[in-house]
Amino acid sequence: MSFMRSEAAAALTRWQGALISLAVLALGLLIAWRSFGITFWLGVFITLAGAISLVAALQRMRFAAGAGGPGVVDIDEGAIGYFGPLGGGVIARSEMTSLALDRTGKPAHWALSQPGQPDVMIPLTASGADALFDVFAALPGMRTEQMLAEMRRTAPGRILLWQKPGTKPAHLRLT
């Protein structure tokens, strides 16, 4: 028996990271405000950790594009796998040469490229696609805020979000 409506529980789950970060931030402020000396600096450190954690939690929330899309994303030891009803593939993060957001399909897709292989196309709403945030954020030179802003735009087409340093631009392809 649950004392909470399912919609309220889903909202709390979605905001869980941000709420915990806010609690840590508030605890750090309380410690810093009510103390002096080394305890004051401990409170300042806890406050900064809470603020950084809050920014990361809010970025993760913005990355979540929904659920119920086709296929499943599996990330295992640097290999990104997508297994869908009509296609799929596996790509090693270390071999990835570019990341693009392709809005030509419904729903929009991540296009992960590697040399000599077809792109791995992953719907934004695929099950487990939220885990891609950590993979994409770890790419060298990746601009996370640009990626999040592009996810919210509705203009059709394909936009290159990241390219591995030292690689040639991908050739245009006919669709």
Q: What is the DSSP letter of 65?
A: -
Residue 168, domain member (yes or no): no
Residue 174, domain member (yes or no): no
* Same-domain check for residues 78 and 155: yes
Number of domains comprising the chain: 2
Q: What percentage of the chain reaches a pLDDT higher than 70?
A: 94
Q: Do residues 63 and 151 touch, judged by C-beta distance below 8 A?
A: yes
Written as six digits, the tokens of 83 are 């297994």
* Same-domain check for residues 109 and 37: no
* Same-domain check for residues 82 and 130: yes
Residue 172, domain member (yes or no): no
* Same-domain check for residues 83 and 59: no
* Same-domain check for residues 93 and 58: no
Query: Which residues constitute the domain of residue 143?
Result: 72-163
Residue 93, domain member (yes or no): yes
Output Rg (C-alpha) for the chain, integer angstroms.
20
Residue 171, domain member (yes or no): no
Q: What is the DSSP letter of 160?
A: E
Q: What confidence tens digit (pLDDT) does each residue in 20-60 have?
A: 999 999 999 999 999 999 999 999 999 999 999 999 889 88
* Same-domain check for residues 13 and 53: yes
At 70 the pLDDT is 85
User: Is residue 69 scored above 80 in pLDDT?
Assistant: no
* Same-domain check for residues 140 and 113: yes
* Same-domain check for residues 139 and 81: yes
Three-class SS of residue 121?
strand
Q: What confidence tens digit (pLDDT) does each residue in 126-175 have?
A: 888 888 888 998 899 889 889 888 888 888 888 999 998 877 655 555 55
* Same-domain check for residues 85 and 120: yes
Residue 108, domain member (yes or no): yes
Q: What is the mean pLDDT of the chain?
A: 87
pTM above 0.75, yes or no: no
At 40 the pLDDT is 95
* Same-domain check for residues 56 and 125: no
At 169 the pLDDT is 59
Q: What percentage of the chain reaches a pLDDT higher than 90?
A: 38
Residue 113, domain member (yes or no): yes
Three-class SS of residue 41?
helix
* Same-domain check for residues 76 and 157: yes
* Same-domain check for residues 85 and 49: no
Q: Do residues 81 and 88 touch, judged by C-beta distance below 8 A?
A: yes
At 34 the pLDDT is 93
